[in-house]
Structure 1
Amino acid sequence: MDFDTISVRGKSKPDPTTGAIIPPIYQTATYVLEEIGVDKGFDYTRSSNPTRQELEKHLAALEGGSHAIAFSSGMASADSCMKLLSQGDHVVCCDDVYGGTARLFNKLMTNYGVEFTYVDSQVAANVEEAIRPETKMVWIETPTNPLLKVTDLEAVGEIANRNNLLYVVDTTFATPVFLRPLEYGADLVLHSTTKYLSGHNQIIGGVIVTDRNDLYDQLKYIQKSVGAVPSPFDCWLVVMGLKTLHLRMQRHWENAEKIAAYLEQHPKVSKVVYPGLESHPMHHVAKDQMKGYSGMISFELEGGLEAGKKLMNSVELCLLAESLGSVETMITHPATMTHAEVPREERLARGFEDGLVRLSVGIEDADDLITDLEKAFEMV
């Protein structure tokens, strides 16, 4: 089936009992056994739930994978990947990752003896140079949060495969509409379903997708053991969001391209980062491996931090808020919000300036959003 059809229909069929087109919400904690040792496929919702199973099948189909494991947050997904490692293991990671991921790696996993080396993965050779005998995993975000760096997934995948390393790719910003990392050799694909996949600022969730049966078995055991599972209702809301994912992502992309072009020519803007712009240093890679450039833009103002603050405090239609990927446009100051725990020296070293502004472009009318930004620029 075509991707758009999978997005709408997933793997679901009308309910055999009632004929209901929309899958039901199985809001239950436990299930009656037929007899000792015999159940109907479910025994306890922490282990499995029909609504969660519906979501997992849908997400696996969208990524072109065999298995999906849903979690209670994107960070629970990331943490579960970390539980595949042991004391003394080493991870090569792209140098621009979500602040929560950086906190997990640097503040928690290092306490358990896991070491991390951060490299600019836009140059694939940097990944290979960082590999050590104890390296077990390569972790890539693409596009990254918030600098929107783009990694050549095939090139890094060849390196990971050649060195027998677990290859994890977080494509929350791209979604399977625009990028499917399993096609480029990824072992595990990670998403925060909070963002574009659900798309309506309603739930917190995460998912891991894989084609490998061994990794699925391990992660399913981790999911059950730690109990980081989403509620049936949250799973149902994500399923509802997936039905319009392909349509929403097209509008996010169209709006972002228009706004990025507007920002790039604005006299008060010193820098615009968007994979769809030819000025992006990895535009050629994004053009080759992505089917669209999504809805995330980062930019800096001529006046630096103070100018950025004035802009963000002056917008009205753009919402000053954490998170991204919703139908509503949201504007964020990463240095004090999403990446507040990343040391300033570390941020500056990788080109992450204090005044960086991140814009998650929604699906409103693009001209209305530009008008809102223009009015805010007048206050800067």
Structure 2
Amino acid sequence: MTEKPTPTERFETRAARAGINRDPGYNSVVAPICVSATFIREDATKPGGFDYARTNNPTRQVFADAVTALEGGAGTVATTSGMAAIDLLFNDLPIGARIVAAHDCYGGTHRLLDARAQGGRFSVDYVDCTDLAALAAALESPAHLLLLETPSNPRIRITDLEAAAKLGKAAGAIVAVDNTVLSPALQRPLELGADVVVSSATKLINGHSDMIGGVLTAKDPDHAERYAWWANAAGTGAAAFDCFLALRGLRTLPLRAKAQSDTALKIAQFLDAHPHVLHVDYPGLASHPGHEIAKRQQSAFGPLLAFEVKGGLDGGAKILRQLNLFTLAQSLGGAESLINVPALMTHKAMTQEARDKAGVKDGLLRISAGLEAAEDLIADLDQALQALD
């Protein structure tokens, strides 16, 4: 039993119906969790739909199909983590390939790129991808992969995806976009010219901070098949229970993404007007340099924002000690509001030089707005900021 979306269905309908009525065994409304490691083969010469769970799994397939429908791609690979999805991009490159990547990408991505490059797997050039002239200069030489991230984490910079994708393709590169911060609910890179979109499913897609996973969706069927081959060969396919959890979260994704974006905007506006705050990074603010681009290519501004307070690291520490409704923890996109210090947490693996180039200052704080009342979150920040008086 398979329920296929029609071209007229809106995103919200596809999300709400993700995995619904997909059980051919017992006709259960919600797709069951299939934890079997192996599957019966009726004929040794003819493989069935499933044979071994490293290769594929019914629950994983339902989740992957749902993501494919939401991203508008040809196929999706569900992986054990967001970083495993990123690494699939690298597995499919030839030895000695050249990668052009965003200089302010997620710290874990930066760490993996550096490690693979230092091992001789490929070369990587970091570029401010929001500067199209700088990106064009970097792509004057051929490249195999252009790895974009917008909004970037943690400085929330915005790259013009359509323009950047054209530059990448002209240089012969596969154009991949890390869409973790927004998810397909708020931005669909494949519609803007990208070849591949990757996300940490742990974040906004799942939305409940209770699983680790990643997804990679390709626009071209051949690309999707190659990435699936690599996931099987490397054994990076997501576990059935994790896929079940992410699929559950996917059904409420549009509602959560919209509500969390609305809250993030209210928080950003409050912080932007506060005398103890030096600056706020959030594209929903008209003063943000990427505001107009974000309005054009995103359906909302997202749940993530960053800000710097007076007093640097010491000032930030004072605020963190006073907060009650924000949990000091890594990750983003969950129902609960989180705050962290990127230089000491999510981006600690980057060298000081790399952090300086990316603008990840020691006193920078990053907020992931959750589903709490915006008024309560703002009141909590307001009383915490009083510690700087």
The structural deviation recorded for 1:348 is 1.7
Task: Please point out which of 349, 353, 358 is paired with 1:341.
Answer: 349
Q: Deviations over 1:257-282 (max 9, x none)?
A: 11110000111101001011011111
- Tell me, yes or no, if structure 1 residue 24 matches structure 2 residue 41: no
2:181 match: 173
TM-score (norm 2): 0.95
Task: Call closer, same or farther: CA 1:98–1:37 in 2, change over 3 Å.
Answer: same
SS in structure 2 of the partner of residue 139 of structure 1: strand
| Aligned twin of 1:62 | 70
The alpha-carbon deviation at position 248 of structure 1 amounts to 0.3
The equivalent position to 1:305 in structure 2, one of 308, 313, 323, is: 313
Shift of 1:84: 1.5
Q: Is the 8 A contact 1:12 1:54 kept in 2?
A: no
Residue identity matched to 1:259:
I
Contact conserved, 2:116 with 2:122, CA < 8 A, in 1? no
Measured at CA, do residues 47 and 222 of structure 1 come closer, stay the same or move farther in structure 2, by a change above 3 Å? same
> Does the aligned pair in 1 maintain the 2:187–2:299 contact within 8 Å?
yes
> TM-score w.r.t. structure 1 length?
0.97
Contact 2:340–2:365 under 8 Å retained in 1: yes
Partner of 2:290: 282
8 Å CA contact 1:88–1:134 kept in 2: the answer is no
Q: Which amino acid aligns with 1:328?
A: E
Stretch of structure 1 that moved more, 115-124 or 194-203: 115-124
**Secondary structure in 1 aligned to 2:119?**
helix
Alpha-carbon deviations, 1:302-357, whole Å to 9, x = none? 11111011112221110000111100000000000000011112212332211000
Paired position in structure 2 for 1:164 = 172
Please name the residue that 1:214 is paired with: 222
1:368 aligns with 2:376: yes
Which residue pairs with 1:94 in the alignment?
A: 102
SS at match of 1:40: coil
**1:353 and 2:361 matched:** yes
Matched residue SS, 2:242: helix
- Distance, in Å, in 2 between the alignment partners of 1:28 and 1:337 is 37
Residue 334 of structure 1 contacts residue 356 of structure 1 at CA under 8 Å; is this kept in 2? yes
User: Aligned with 1:299: secondary structure?
Assistant: strand
Q: How does 1:169-318 map to 2 (within 5 A)?
A: 169-318=177-326
**Conservation of the 8 A alpha-carbon contact between 1:90 and 1:132:** no
Distance, in Å, in 2 between the alignment partners of 1:17 and 1:97 is: 44
How far did 1:141 drift? 0.2
Provide the rounded CA distance (Å) in 2 between the counterparts of 1:342 and 1:141: 16
Q: Structure 1: which 5+ runs fail to align? A: none
Contact 2:197 2:218 in 1 (8 A): yes
Q: Report the AA paired with residue 104 of structure 1.
A: L
Counterpart of 2:254, as a letter, is: H
Is residue 98–residue 124 contact of structure 2 (8 Å, CA) maintained in 1? yes
Contact 1:78 1:101 in 2 (8 A): yes
Which of residues 133, 137, 149 is equivalent to 1:141? 149
Q: Which residue of 1 aligns with 2:125?
A: 117
**Count of aligned residue pairs for this structure pair:** 380
- SS of the aligned residue for 1:135 comes to coil
- Would the aligned equivalents of 1:317 and 1:369 in 2 still touch at CA under 8 Å? yes
**Which of 326, 335, 342 lines up with 1:327 in the alignment?**
335
Give SS of 2:73's match: coil
- What percentage of aligned pairs have identical amino acids? 38
Distance 1:257 1:309 in 2: 23
Of the structure 1 ranges 314-323 and 189-198, higher mean CA displacement relative to structure 2 is found in: 314-323
Among residues 99, 105, 111, which one is paired with 1:103 in the alignment?
111
SS of the aligned residue for 2:134 comes to helix
* Residue type of the alignment partner of 1:295: P
Secondary structure of 2:336's aligned partner: coil
Question: Contact 1:259/1:370 (CA < 8 Å) preserved in 2?
Answer: yes
> Match of 1:78, SS?
helix
**2:34 aligned counterpart, secondary structure:** coil
Equivalent residue of 1:379, what SS? helix
Q: What secondary structure sits across from 1:147 in the alignment?
A: coil
2:83 is aligned to 75
Please give the alpha-carbon distance, in whole angstroms, between the structure 1 residues aligned to 2:129 and 2:337.
Answer: 29
Q: Does residue 386 of structure 2 align to residue 378 of structure 1?
A: yes
**1: CA distance between counterparts of 2:99 and 2:188?**
22
Contact 2:93–2:144 at 8 Å: present in 1 too? yes
CA contact (8 A) 1:26 1:51 kept: yes
Report whether the alignment pairs 1:53 with 2:61: yes
